[in-house]
Structure 1
């Protein structure tokens, strides 16, 4: 083990006061105390983002049935590898009842088709780009070789796009013209690309989405997101709810224009040249319609039994605090059995469960005590008006239920200790000035694909100390981590297990510990508020 020491990160030191004031007055000043973050702010989460209001009449809640994304069939299973093909294309579909909405899709659906894989059995997905702009596919939460991780400049170019090898337009979402930025390591292809995923990881819910530099937020907003589930026999032997009582729930907010199209405040609606959003939405874009699996405020007919809900927050910037409430006002426990990177060691019961963009929670809800004919609403305690409702379950029948939630779920969680860390790094996530425009920065610098920000050795254990000004869900590619502390104190109940995204609340700090194993190469860490990400809040990790 190398010498243990503390670094200020591989990036520049923090912002000066004048730079921090770049967005929203004193937005960035809440985090100046490092690990002594503002407890008052963290106890009272604010909204980070601005609501974009729809210009079409919105349907009543709990009328549209919950859709379940189709499971994609492999085109072959030869050589011990499951091979899939997905075409990225624009289609017009009915999201709101009676309204036609053009969407960018994986395979013609929103969400895209679900891929179900087995632990240890490799998967290759051939993506074909029939959209009018370049795309990049990232398997979020995947233990993936760097060549298939979906680095933001490793573009799949459409047929008519000019060759941009070793360079990419990189305006980082500023309100002025973009600037050219070179990436000599970019690997670009025309029309198609094979992404290979070894699947050497714990069973869990992953998701895949577009990760194109500077345009991730509007691409996801237009529909480029889908689910990927990893399974294994050990998990299946536990007796958890399964089959029709295991429901993937991709929650995402959107807004609709008067013509039925998706509204989004892009500076360049073509998503070709000028990245960024209009001034009021620099902190993040919030929609006023809550979709679950692509349906507005849906309802699902359920048995009076236990259900396993595989929940993903695929919103660009909206945070939720979920609560299950029946028609009598009784709150049902959300029993968490898994986090971003798979099963917990033991279940944790929550009355309310906060979930930030890109986080996943695996929970069991027991409907056996709910009278037939009654509903259970999944509500968002951080919402207001229509965004306070998410979806509902209508209890249709009494049944025999043999599923269970065992007291011990998993025994394979890593047991990294602080004393194992060879290095401690500090990172600040704050608003600032960038190229004369507004931006979101890590340690005072916007993302540059040509810059090595952090270099780690394969196999090293490190502790990272993160601090934020406003909400920043921080995501590490390749590795999972454990949350050690929040605000210098104990982790929160929902921090349990192995995660790949940690939600920093306004003025809050957190410590995480991880081992950089798996593969060598260039990876990312970034804020998963997609507007922040597009406006510079990413950095490189080089694993050597």
Structure 2
């Protein structure tokens, strides 16, 4: 993409007047550095940092296994948790905890998960990063209604146009089709496991209400392992740590504070001040505020997940080890990289994952190593702390110079080029190519096994997520990919007034899938689109 082409895309996204304003150096700098969201302050006293031990979500055990797969059961339920010390918080949970239990799957074996909904609201569960048949992808209007829902209530909940409150959607054929896939009480999702080792996660995906549902606790890890990964001498066992980073705010009574237009969630959306996203003032890691962890002087694998609704992070270790390169990236959204990439810090947008290795042998015993957020201020500049012990232990892990075989998609093989502009509407929503989301209306119809070039462009900050298959970033603003674009991605961070090109190829499963912004407030305010793989 040359400069002229980028400016043409920019004009279509921002409008000529806005693009001219961006040309001013100060405006350009503001857009380049601008980050979304409005801070929502907690109404109670917050605990001090590094007083809580880092919890690890329990690993979910299968209820049965067979020759081809493992079967799991998860109950979605209200639970009272002690997230802040001495404070009770009512949460919506998978299995009674936040985060939900971790599913550990094996490539080539199916994971079959039966969800039972005992919450007061409908849900739909999406395996983020999963290579999943369409009927198990968590389409936002394929509702799992609560246990005991009456026929009258089921009909009311199936009126998606009223429930979601999005304009121009009543009576659409796609809506009626989607409503017919609602079920009450329990739903089974099948994940065939036809994908490489990767750090995935699952979360609620109900249309219009993903933001408040995830904010209240509906998120968990789903890890996939394979033989290629197992053959490498990477940190494993207790030195392989999934870290779900999420910001939240709390009301005076200890409940999660969220600026919903309707506190009862009968109508979607947030109050006007938070239309560009909600930022909390408490940083949680695996559901604990600013936790700490004792670490030995060995290598650890940190599976970093940004599960925040809106907040962007620049994660660094403080102090940096002598020589820098503290974070050795070995994996991205879609699994292992071909070779490690070394960073002093990592910028991570909502829904992105970075697998990194940290060698704590580079620190003296007794060093307190903070994981900090350079994009934060005050309390949100702290994430967690690692306390380096003096224990004498053996480190059998290394990071090889070659990690995995990663196929490179060929841009010359692309059979189609598609443009997707992400921008704020003149009304109350967020749009893709100028239109609010309507279930059943296609924005693209890619064919199975064909390579396509997709261009994403932005007005403001948008982390763009594509369902079904990962993609490869091949350029930003007509130049090379950025330092955090390596490997297979399913979410790419678009900065303000930016254009990104990716190559994508959809495989195995035909059907309706989604493309959307993963700023959850943008998503809930209609920044989504369907595409049909044929």
| TM-score, length-scaled by structure 2 | 0.92
Secondary structure at the aligned position of 2:46 is classed as: coil
Q: Which residue of 2 aligns with 1:235?
A: 229
Deviations 1:215-250 (A, max 9, x none): 000000000000000001220110101111110000
Which residue, 398, 403, 407 being the options, matches 1:409?
403
Secondary structure at the aligned position of 1:218 is classed as: helix
Query: How many equivalent residue pairs?
Result: 514
Q: 1: distance between equivalents of 2:20 and 2:277?
A: 19
Provide the aligned C-alpha RMSD in A.
2.4
Q: Which residue of 2 aligns with 1:195?
A: 189
1:140 matches 2:116: no
Q: Which residue of 2 aligns with 1:534?
A: 524
Deviations 1:281-338 (A, max 9, x none): 0000000000000000000010011110001000000000000113899855100000
Give, in angstroms, the shift of residue 518 of structure 1.
2.1
Q: 1: distance between equivalents of 2:398 and 2:344?
A: 19
1:207 matches 2:198: no
- Of residues 156-165 and 487-496 in structure 1, the stretch that sits farther from structure 2 once superposed is 156-165
- Of residues 324-333 and 209-218 in structure 1, the stretch that sits farther from structure 2 once superposed is 324-333
Secondary structure at the aligned position of 1:456 is classed as: coil
Alignment of 1:501-512 (within 5 A): 501-512=491-502
Q: Which residue of 2 aligns with 1:343?
A: 336
1:163 matches 2:151: no
Give, in angstroms, the shift of residue 110 of structure 1.
0.1
Which structure shows the bigger proportion of residues in helix conformation? 2
Q: Which residue of 1 aligns with 2:176?
A: 184
**Conserved 8 A contact 1:339-1:496:** yes
Q: 1: distance between equivalents of 2:446 and 2:205?
A: 23
Change in Cα spacing, 1:228 to 1:402, as seen in structure 2 (3 Å) is: same
Q: Which residue of 2 aligns with 1:9?
A: none
Q: 2: distance between equivalents of 1:523 and 1:38?
A: 40
Q: Which residue of 2 aligns with 1:4?
A: none
Change in Cα spacing, 1:328 to 1:340, as seen in structure 2 (3 Å) is: closer
Change in Cα spacing, 1:168 to 1:464, as seen in structure 2 (3 Å) is: same
Change in Cα spacing, 1:91 to 1:364, as seen in structure 2 (3 Å) is: same
Q: Which residue of 2 aligns with 1:6?
A: none
Q: 2: distance between equivalents of 1:80 and 1:15?
A: 47
Deviations 1:167-222 (A, max 9, x none): 41367677xx9964641331111010000000110100000000000000000000
1:126 matches 2:114: yes
Which residue, 282, 285, 298 being the options, matches 1:305?
298
| TM-score, length-scaled by structure 1 | 0.90
Q: Which residue of 2 aligns with 1:112?
A: 100
**Conserved 8 A contact 2:143-2:183:** yes
Q: 2: distance between equivalents of 1:15 and 1:359?
A: 24
Secondary structure at the aligned position of 2:42 is classed as: coil
Q: 1: distance between equivalents of 2:464 and 2:185?
A: 31
Q: Which residue of 2 aligns with 1:10?
A: none
**Conserved 8 A contact 1:326-1:332:** no
Change in Cα spacing, 1:503 to 1:39, as seen in structure 2 (3 Å) is: farther
Q: 2: distance between equivalents of 1:442 and 1:494?
A: 24
- Of residues 92-101 and 395-404 in structure 1, the stretch that sits farther from structure 2 once superposed is 395-404
**Conserved 8 A contact 1:309-1:365:** yes
Change in Cα spacing, 1:426 to 1:31, as seen in structure 2 (3 Å) is: farther
Q: Which residue of 2 aligns with 1:289?
A: 282
List runs of 5+ in structure 1 lacking aligned partners. Answer: 1-12, 21-25
Q: 2: distance between equivalents of 1:39 and 1:488?
A: 20
Secondary structure at the aligned position of 1:99 is classed as: coil
Q: Which residue of 1 aligns with 2:6?
A: none
Change in Cα spacing, 1:414 to 1:38, as seen in structure 2 (3 Å) is: farther
Which residue, 445, 454, 461 being the options, matches 1:464?
454
**Conserved 8 A contact 1:305-1:401:** yes
Q: Which has the higher contact order (CA 8 A, sep 6+)?
A: 1
